[in-house]
Chains A and B, each alone.
Chain A
Amino acid sequence: MNRHDIQKGLRLANLDQPVSARSSPRGSAYLETDGDAASAAEIRRSASAKTWGQLPEIAVAGAVGLLVVAVADTGARAGAPWASLAFWIGLLLQFGPVAGRLASARPSRSERIGLVGLLGLQLYLIKVLHSPLAFTLHDEFSHWRTANDIARSGHLFSENPLLPVSPVYPGLENVTSALTSLSGLSIFAAGIILIALARVLLAVALYLFYEDASGSARIAGLATLFYMANPSFLFFDAQFSYESLALPLAAFALVAVSRSQRGARKTSLGLVGVILLALGATITTHHVTGLFLSLFLVVWTATAAYVNRGKVNGASPGWTALASLAMVLAWTNTVGSALFGYLAPILEQGPQALLKLALGMGSLRRPFSDYAGQSLAWPERVVGYLSVVLILVGLAVGLRWVWRRYRDNALALALAATALPYPLSLALRMTDQGAEASSRTSEFLFLGIAFVLAVAAEEYWLSRSWNRRRAAWFVGWATVVFTGGVVLGAAPWARLPGPYLVAADSRSVDQQSVGVAEWTLRHLGPNNRFAADRTNGMLVGSYGEQRLVTALVDHVGVWPPFFTPTFDALDEMTIQRGRIHFLVIDRRLSTGLPRVGVYVEIGEVDTYHHRTPINPAALSKFDGMPRVSRLLDSGDIAIYDVEALAHAP
């Protein structure tokens, strides 16, 4: 293929042309490097681009990895001590071969895209293998409730006491509604299919976006690989939750915007329409993703202004940033109170706690341990620390190279700017309140971090003469970054299924608690006012379709009846103010400390600092109380009718 062919192809294939030679650091010569093709015209003419290379072999290795993870899950359910090791082996069988192959210069663009799509899907399947028969992750119940409300009523914006903000960002549930009503599939089955497709879309769209930013297929592949190392990727963004759909939609929007920045041709009305549709869908699906997308477009506009200084007709995503901000403001104004009530505490408490810590007034969070005091095994702690160090080193190296190679590339500079707050997000992790805010930023910051790390890998490491030793070092580096993300993103007890644990989200959902929740709907009907601990509350509020009383919605802390050893005035006031009709009491709460830091809700006594389990007397005090019926007994869980107390004189 000669340069004439490429240029001819570029004119033909407007949508797939790489970043222009002006903004590309190496111009078209960069395209001619084996494995760095980015032009559709080039692809169409290149025989090698039509091959899948080693994708099938790597798919088999990944499938073996999934098989090992499935065995690990099954072993973990029976408490097998080898399950954790098997999980890691299975995980690395998926990640390692893909990392090694993407680092090589040999794969075609098709193979690279196939590899990132494959890895994205296989990592998603790890979450599905963890819970193959029903949703078990915490946020999934909130969104199940919203989807179920839409299925029952046929309309949006029903009240959801589990997550009040969910019904006003119903993008996920809209698609689920279309799937369930037309196919007859359950919400669970439709959700699994939808998130699987969204996951592949995310991986491939990110690849195209990074390819636009770098003009390099290898950097695009590596950046997408590093994005998957963010702590939220394996479980949090694989659950049936609004962010899991919003991120792929945002990536899709970014690809559309980056394509509109290409070439001298004016953006067509059709592409403008695609961009507006994608922005609208993202912003109405998830609040933080919509906000991040808008902020990123603003940063991109700013870097474009810097790159275009002195130029009259330089490309800029300015109008998309304005449109995005306008949509965010319009939608936030429509749903305002629900959003601010939900987000404000998260956004405020982290920086406040960090400030207190800086002033010597706060306490340091114990790193790499859960709220029940269980620390990670030392190898995991080492990998966790090492991954942070390697990311910081990679950022230091990569930012320098971004500046050297891409200082005239507005998109690359915007991505680099997005990586800059990473150290601050690490600082937030030092406090209990900040850890939540920090963990919610990783999937956004990694958009930039992944790009900078990929540039560092390419420029500092891989562009030099390639040999096995160099490849092994790279795979080792990438694997530590990836495993560190897994370590930071999910506690050991959350990675695998297993026996019941106290206040441990997916590990607290079992046959008994699900059975009790279903009983409430079958025999009491929906929308009775319930108070319950964190896990049983999610279940009676979703599968039970009950009206859970919460501090967030009702401004009543419902925790006292679960903590006071004898029934006292505080309990009575709580029941009366919350107009609580039924109480779900799970006696197992007294058998351990809460893994997630709270038994009932944030704001309860000793939130994040429980030192002793709940007094068993607190959980049995309703037995034998006059006028308090104990309507159901399942062994560990009992349902009490306390309405008589709510109406006591």
Chain B
Amino acid sequence: MLDLVLSALIDIFHWQNFLAMFFGVALGITIGAIPGLGYTMALALLLPVTFGMPATTAMLLLIGIYCGGVYGGSITAILIKTPGTAASAATVEDGYALAKKGKASVALNMVIYASVFGAILSGLILLFAAPQIASFALKFGPPEYFMLTLFGLTIISSVSGNSLSKAFIMASLGVLFSTVGTDLVTGDTRFAFGTIFLTAGIDLIPVIIGLYAIAEIFNQAEKKIGSISANTSFESEKFTWRNLIPFRRTLMRSSLIGIIVGAIPGTGATISSFIGYNEARRASKTPEEFGKGSLDGVAAAESANNATTGTTLIPTMTLGIPGDSGTAILLGALIMQGLVPGPQLFERSGEVVYAIMIGFLFISIIMFLQGKFAVKLFAKITLIPSYVLFPIVLGFCLVGAYAVNNTITYVWVALFFGLIGYLLPKFGFPVTPLLIGFILGPLSEEALRQSLILSQGSGMIFFTRPISIFFFLLCLVSIFLPVIQKKFKERVNAK
């Protein structure tokens, strides 16, 4: 192994490989920050370009785009309440609240530090424990997937605002919208209302653009404020690794969540960021600050989603099973380069594989340097007058929704969800549970129905498998522990 690592290190420092990583991260950050585009599109665009490149250079370029894209999506989530990718949706509430308080620079710094922390930890796990983690991931069947998504859904109680019943209604609406289109198990159409475009279902990107960006444009138009940041005498605050010390437990916990979720095929950074956020809130001494500008919340969501990027390469490379749409393209790139994904990949193409894994660590460092350099520039966006910024954001939302599938109907979808995101919160209905229901709904439904088909309708299938029981217990802890803690505090205060 050591000779392969040394050989990979030498390979990484070839100028073309270094340039590929540098360019890939910059492109990923830029495209990740544009609503409607995201790293999947950037990977798809660059894939044909990499055909003539050496395997290591091509893979490093694409992984740079992937990592940069996951990070870049959080920049607009903080600055203009528009997550560039679904993985940044958990960062929106706290990040944007901080930006409005004039602390955009602090929030952006936390994003880059937490992202790099999660990514490096994930890269080390990828380097030293890929085969072991791959064998663990293989134990995941439909019952385990269902319990994992159920665990993800328990976050609804954390983001419910003042009313749990309203949060349940919104989450149900999210699940309901996710059922529109063709049923993946039977092939029947659901809620298509005789139209063709609804048969294909509702895409996630216009939903996010509508719920957050367009709804925020309506809110800003209604309020008439000068700029996003309340603090017009904006100055960037100094932020170093020392600033992470109070958040070390959150970072470790969320990174571990991201690492585990990333290793499970078909899950991805979105789920890990929500689970990481939920667990940070549950463990926090000040959970009431979450959603109102908590740096802990930003650290949790960002370290979790970036920790996913490294370990998601494990099932991709060792099992040939992609973790999400981004890694599906990376898998295609591996095959295109003549590398056969699977357990034999380490033996047959060890040099390239180790170059990819070590390159991943260097990509995290490059991402840190580029992000750190750009934070000061990004933060100034919150000072742009709203009559200049929001028309531009609106333009990006419209063209971004259109660009998802080159169809005007997706702009209607974005407008529809924009109205939901604008109107329902006025009556106390929180928006985030709807998005969580929409993201986790299809995974959860598919796993539930597959499990029940396997067990011929018996629910006992969820309680006879160790991993499934483990996640079920986590669900119980996640739901009941805050209630018990609250009762305990009330008793202590009463005494």
Q: Do A and B come from one complex?
A: no
Write the residues of chain B forming the contact surface with A, with a CB cutoff of 8 angstroms. none
Write the residues of chain A forming the contact surface with B, with a CB cutoff of 8 angstroms. none
